[in-house]
Amino acid sequence: MINTRTKILDVAEDLVQRVGLNAMSYKDISEAVGIRKASIHHHFPKKENLIDGLLERCAISYGDKYQRIVDGNGKAPDKLRNLTAVFAEGLNNKKLCLVGSISADKNTLQDASCHILQGTIENTVSIFSSVFKQGRQEQSLTYTGTDEETAFAFFSLLLGAQIVARSHGGFQLFKQAVEVVISGFER
């Protein structure tokens, strides 16, 4: 059985991914979960506590998902396509990456939340960089810059393409844009 804290995080994550961080309210969450706002404040006294909880959970759940892809079998270009599929799935469900959604509102975050956000991004880039390192070693990818710089660029592409495709062209345009870049990396 899912506990109240998890339900709150589930609903908050869905709202942030669909409408954005600053458009989400405790009222929205309380209505969706079927609890009073005071119950949310019991688990997350301030909105920043909720944001921190979302980011910490995201770092674990998506970090694990990305790591499984990276650790799996296959050549680097296939792994890049598998990482892309995670973002494509979100877009197909009309949701943006949680990190991307929260990053868009970074200027409204408290310092602690910014630190967690930065750590989450660094962890994601580190995981993605393993794919580029593999690709360089197996000679299936070619690129300039370091593995980390290229992984950061690729992660940024996924976030940006997801946002733009949401407003223009949708799922198919996202897949086409990312495929152009992956094909450009391939040897």
The answer to whether residue 110 sits within a structural domain is yes
Work out the percent of the chain whose per-residue pLDDT is above 70. 99
The answer to whether residue 126 sits within a structural domain is yes
The pLDDT tens digits for 81-125 are 999 999 999 999 999 999 999 999 999 999 999 999 999 999 999
Q: pLDDT class for 184, splitting at 50, 70, 90?
A: very high
pLDDT at 1: 57
The answer to whether residue 171 sits within a structural domain is yes
pLDDT at 2: 72
Report the predicted TM-score, pTM, of the whole model to 2 decimal places. Answer: 0.92
The answer to whether residue 75 sits within a structural domain is yes
The answer to whether residue 23 sits within a structural domain is no
Nearest 10 degrees: Cα torsion 167, 169, 174, 176 = -160
> Considering its fold, how many domains does the chain have in total?
1
Domain assignment of residue 89, given as a range? 52-185
Asked if the model's pLDDT at residue 4 lies above 80, the reply is: yes
